[in-house]
Amino acid sequence: MHELSLAEALTESVEKWQAANGGKVLSVTVDVGRLGGVDPEALEYAFGLIAPYKIRTVLLPLRFRCGRCRREFEMERLPESCPECGAEYFMLRRLNGRELSIREIEVENV
Ligand SMILES: [Zn+2]
């Protein structure tokens, strides 16, 4: 399972962070891009197998910039055209989609 190796890489990052900062980690929030081929549920499951803390995944919206009206906008899925000016999809530049990064580490207050 591809998510298991991703979970291992993420827990390694958390361990490094913990070694530097101390404290007991309660949960980790991870940003997941919609086009990175990562299944958030599978990632959460894999995390549960190897980590003693919880994981929360945040599926990020896709961000685009329109080449015609220059506006930036967010979508849940690939748009057919610019919602602002109606420019065709090929005029839109995708700005993200493949993220897999730690947004927040929650630590127990001592
Ligand atoms: Zn536009």
Question: Could you say which architecture CATH assigns to the domain 2-107?
Answer: 2-Layer Sandwich (3.30)
Ligand 1 centroid vs 96 CA: distance in angstroms? 17
Strand ranges, E, within 33-99? 54-59, 62-66, 72-75, 92-94
- In tens, the pLDDT along 73-110 reads 999 999 999 999 999 999 999 999 999 999 999 999 77
Which residue type does 90 have?
F
> Is the predicted pLDDT of residue 52 greater than 80, yes or no?
yes
CA–CA gap between residue 4 and residue 51 (Å, rounded): 11
What pLDDT does 40 receive?
A: 95
Ligand 1 centroid vs 60 CA: distance in angstroms? 21
Ligand 1 centroid vs 67 CA: distance in angstroms? 7
> Would you kindly state where each structural domain of the chain is located, as residue ranges?
2-107
For residue 86, which of 101, 106, 107, 71 has the smallest C-alpha distance? Answer: 71
What pLDDT does 109 receive?
A: 79
Ligand 1 centroid vs 88 CA: distance in angstroms? 8
Ligand 1 centroid vs 63 CA: distance in angstroms? 13
